[in-house]
Every structure is written in structure tokens, then in C-alpha cells.
Structure 1
Amino acid sequence: MVGSIRRIDFGVNCYLIDVEGGYVLIDTSFPNKRDKLDAELAAAGCGPDDLRLIVLTHGDVDHAGNCAHLRSTYHAPIAIHRQDAEIVRSGDMTAGRTDKPDRHTLAFRFLTWASGLLYKITRTGVDFEAFEPDVLLEDEQDLSAYGLDARVVHLSGHSSGSIGILAGGGVLFCGDLLVNVMRPSLHYYIDDLAQAHESIRKLSGLGVETLYPGHGKPFPLSELPIPGRRFG
């Protein structure tokens, strides 16, 4: 069974998990949320030497934006799937992606514009800092060495190196494969729709009970659309 989960919601979710010997952090939000994230970690009792691992569900700036800072401050290694590693090394969010994504909704374009505008208004002078990850993850990789009873599940679609973290009790941190903004659905940006659908088909065979998405509140697997219906 996974330890206590603290959802840190900045429009994009970070999840702080209480593990043996400290904490594991899943995703890190935008760079301009740095001070707020530090405050959330402190409020949870996570000090500079208490963070055992930072796991990224994928390499986009809203999930990887504070990694370099956190590694320097909290002395924690950063883990990402090898197929998304070039995104964080280069700072290029298009690295490894196609020129024309299969799904690029109007809602995503609006949210991208709005978040970009908000970032300019509220920015603190801190931009994304590219970094070299410490751990390159593979499908089925065990994370128990970091105190977390969980394994990596490759869930490509949003990006080629997107992953989920499958923990005890049927808990799956699914990154941006799925969102729960108005209702559970595919993310508004999907690079490869066929891969995303294949990733979704995996879920029923994994014993998943509750999904913790990158955006929106956690929800039970039963709230996903019936298999065979079009994901919206």
C-alpha cells in the first residue's frame, strides 16, 4: 500500500508521497511556482535531505520546471523515461515529438496561450533550467530502492517517454495521458493517438483502481469512458 499522498495543485499536479526514509515527489510544476513548491514541501515536513527521488511522468516544462532547483536544494536524484530525457536536456518541448500531433484541441491551444500569459505576468525571473537526469527509467522498473513500493509503466501517447507510476492499492499516477478537468478524458494534446489508446487499454490489466492525473482531481478507473467509445 502506498503511503500518504499529498496533492500539490498549481493547475498542474505534483504529488508528494510519504515513503520509508523520507519522501518521493512526482512532477515539479512550472519554474514560477518554485517558492510555492518549496513552501508546500516544508509544510509537509520534507526538508533538504528528506527527498529521496524526483520522478517525472514526462519532460514538459509544467512537470519538470523545478527539477534542477530541487536537486540542488534537496539533493534528490531525478528520474525520467529515457525517451523523454532529451526534452529536459535541451529544454526543447518538441524533442522526440512529431511536427503534427494527432490531437491538439482548441482547449489546449487556449490553455497554452492563457498559461503563457499568466507566466509572463507572474514570472519571478526564473526560467526553465535544462538538466541531465540521474536515472533513465524503463518500463516495469522497480522503485523500491527509493522507498516507494511502485513500478514504472510506459504510457506513451502524450509524449513518447510518458510514464505512469503504479503503486500499491491500485494507485496509478498517470501523468498527462489523462486529465480530469471537467471530466476524465484524454489530455488535450496527444502526439500519437494510437499509442495513447494502447496505453489506456493497458490500464484494466494492471489492477488500477484510482488514477492520479497531471491535471485535475484523482478519479476511479470506473469513471473512464466505456471501452470502444470515442475518448473526447
Structure 2
Amino acid sequence: MRPRQLTSAIWQLPFPVGHVYVVRLPPGGRSARAGYALVDTGVPGSAPAVLAALDGLGGRPEDVRQIVLTHSHIDHTGSAADLAAATGATVLAGAPDAPVIRGEAPEPPPRFTAAEQTLFDGIMAGFADAGMPEQRPVAVDIELHEGDELTGWGEPVHVLATHGHTPGGVALHLPESRVLFPGDIIGTGEGRAVLGPGNVDREQAIASFRRLAALERVEVVCVPHGDPVTEDVAATLAAATPETDWL
């Protein structure tokens, strides 16, 4: 697994299911060293690979200051407990998803289309065949809401609530860097931007997709599944047809 550099400060760590993104942060607090944020953490068992990639970028575990979880699904939160323990980082997630991530509430079940059910069954079978470890809950230190801004990134980071995929999904928009972390609302495949499958409320998820697609000042879309969108972003998102995806 080789990190893919997308901007001067952002790398994708590509995993078979659920990519992790590393963001270099400016020095701050008592440290003269650059810090790092992780956006999502991969499935359970991904922590060693994430930490090895961080080491390859010149970072130490203690340099990780924040772990931002875009939503509660296992391919995004699965290694959060291990990475939080290894780094001491602050864990942030959308408020409605926080009880699930903490292990205090069950995961709301998605409403699958037939195509989504086939995809999901195949992924879960792959997890079982690979002997994926069980997920451990993790404390959420900061609950995020629509309109919040993250601190310590050296530029504005706007939190957008993305209802529909899960009740408490969030996206991050960095207008100065022109970067969007959409969570599972937006994925890519076969050169297209597509609606992420497995939503608790498909209509809300489509509305969230359209909202993100209409954002200005976006030139890189860091999707969790598929290839990041780094060229012709506006045209790619405008051409998307989330209303008919996975039907």
C-alpha cells in the first residue's frame, strides 16, 4: 500500500475497502513539528498499515492530532480505537453517529436495493474469508454539527452534515485548498461519480449528493471508495445521476 499524494498536504492510503486519508497539519501548540489528521480509519486491522504509511511520510504516531470519522460504518471506523490508542489523537464524528461509534447504540440498518445487497453480501463474505478482527468501540471526543469548523488545519475546514447514508454523516470542505472529503455520499467507478450504496434514507442521500456537487471551490474530491476526482471535477459531478445509481 503506497500513499498517493493528491495535494501538497493530503495523501490517500488506498485500501481494498474504505480508503484512509492523511492530512499534514501545520506546527501548533507546544510542538514545532508538523502534525497530521486522519480522515477515516479503514476496517478493523488497518492500524499497522496506516501507521507504517505515516512513518513513510515522516510522521510519528504522536504527531497525529485528529481522527475525523465521516460516519459510523465499519470500513470507516473499524481501526479508530487502535489508532486513537496508538496516537492519543482527538476523535471527531457527527453527533447522531457518535453513540454508534461509542458502542452505545446499534447501527441503523441500510435499506439496500437489490444491486446494493449483492455488493454488500460479497464484501461481507470477503471480510469473513480474510478473518477480519472484530471492531472495538471508541470514544468520540468532539461531536460535529452542521456549520462547525475544525481547528488546527491552517485553513478553514467547514463541516457539512450529509444526511441519508447514516443519520450523522459529515463531509469536510476546505475552500482554500479546494478539497472535499464527502464521506460515502460520493464514490467513483468506471470514470463516474456515483451515489454511495447502502443508505438509511436514499432520498436524503441523493439530496446530500446534489448539495455537495453544487459546492464551489472544489478541485479534488477525496472519495472513500474508488479513485479520487482530481480533474474536471465540476463536470464530473454535474454529469452524475445519483437518482438512478444502484437501481
TM-score (norm 2): 0.82
Question: C-alpha displacement at 1:3, in angstroms?
Answer: 4.7
Question: C-alpha displacement at 1:188, in angstroms?
Answer: 1.6
Contact preservation (8 Å) 2:25, 2:152: no
Mapping of 1:35-184 within 5 angstroms?
35-90=48-103, 94=107, 97=108, 101=111, 104-123=112-131, 126-145=133-152, 147=154, 149-167=156-174, 168-182=176-190, 183-184=192-193
More strand by share: 1
Q: Identity over the aligned pairs, expressed in percent?
A: 26
Question: C-alpha displacement at 1:91, in angstroms?
Answer: 7.2
**1: CA distance, partners of 2:218 / 2:173:** 8
Question: C-alpha displacement at 1:154, in angstroms?
Answer: 0.9
Higher relative contact order (CA 8 A, sep 6+): 1
Question: C-alpha displacement at 1:222, in angstroms?
Answer: 1.8
Matched pairs, number: 225
Contact preservation (8 Å) 1:15, 1:26: yes
Secondary structure of the residue aligned to 1:37 is: helix
Query: Which ranges of structure 2 fall in alignment gaps of 5 or more residues?
Result: 1-6, 28-34
Secondary structure of the residue aligned to 2:164 is: coil
Contact preservation (8 Å) 1:55, 1:79: yes
Partner letter of residue 180 of structure 1? T
Question: C-alpha displacement at 1:212, in angstroms?
Answer: 1.3
76-85 vs 186-195, which deviates more?
Answer: 186-195
Contact preservation (8 Å) 1:24, 1:148: no
* Residue of 4, 11, 20 corresponding to 2:9: 4
Q: Which residue of 2 aligns with 1:212?
A: 222
Q: Which residue of 2 aligns with 1:18?
A: 24
Secondary structure of the residue aligned to 1:230 is: helix
Q: Deviations over 1:69-106 (max 9, x none)?
A: 11111110100010111211227662xx3x662xx234
Q: Deviations over 1:91-147 (max 9, x none)?
A: 7662xx3x662xx234432332232222223236x3100122011011121112354
**1: CA distance, partners of 2:119 / 2:242:** 26
**2: CA distance, partners of 1:229 / 1:121:** 31
Distance 1:80-1:214 versus aligned 2 partners, 3 A rule: same
RMSD between aligned residues: 2.3
Distance 1:100-1:190 versus aligned 2 partners, 3 A rule: closer
Query: Which ranges of structure 1 fall in alignment gaps of 5 or more residues?
Result: none
TM-score (norm 1): 0.87
**1: CA distance, partners of 2:159 / 2:87:** 23
